[in-house]
Amino acid sequence: MGDFKHLVVAKFKEGVAVEDVIKGMQDLVSDIDAVKSFEWGQDLESHEMLRQGFTHSFLMTFKNKEEYTAFLAHPKHIEFSATFSVAIEKVILLDFPIVLVKP
């Protein structure tokens, strides 16, 4: 089996310092070896009706599901999750093994 992905799509609460949350996430993934790669982006192009208020996406890649499970149990992830949870109004989480169609 190949890589395992963790996708988070978020709508932050009014007044949240999103830059601080993103910096915290960057620090988190830098400290945890199980995270193979980390990407994030802010939506700039979608129509509001299609976006449904979501503004940011975060994508982490792990070598396999076991590495992802280790990440979930890591004390720094548990600590950051509490901070992240109070900053978001809505969230979508998808965790999945990838199916590579075109490299």
Q: Over 80: is that where the pLDDT of 1 sits?
A: no
Question: Looking at residue 82, which CATH number applies to its domain?
Answer: 3.30.70.100
Could you tell me if residue 44 is inside a domain?
Answer: yes
Could you tell me if residue 100 is inside a domain?
Answer: no
pLDDT at 46: 85
Could you tell me if residue 58 is inside a domain?
Answer: yes
Pick from 31, 6, 20: nearest CA to 92: 6
Return phi, psi of residue 3, to 5°. Answer: -60, 160
pLDDT at 87: 97
What are 32-79's pLDDT values in tens digits?
A: 999 999 999 999 988 888 889 999 999 999 999 999 999 999 999 999
Could you tell me if residue 31 is inside a domain?
Answer: yes
Alpha-carbon span 4 to 83, nearest angstrom: 24
What are 28-41's pLDDT values in tens digits?
A: 999 999 999 999 99
In the chain, how many domains are there? 1
Could you tell me if residue 101 is inside a domain?
Answer: no
Could you tell me if residue 103 is inside a domain?
Answer: no
pTM for the whole structure: 0.91
Could you tell me if residue 77 is inside a domain?
Answer: yes
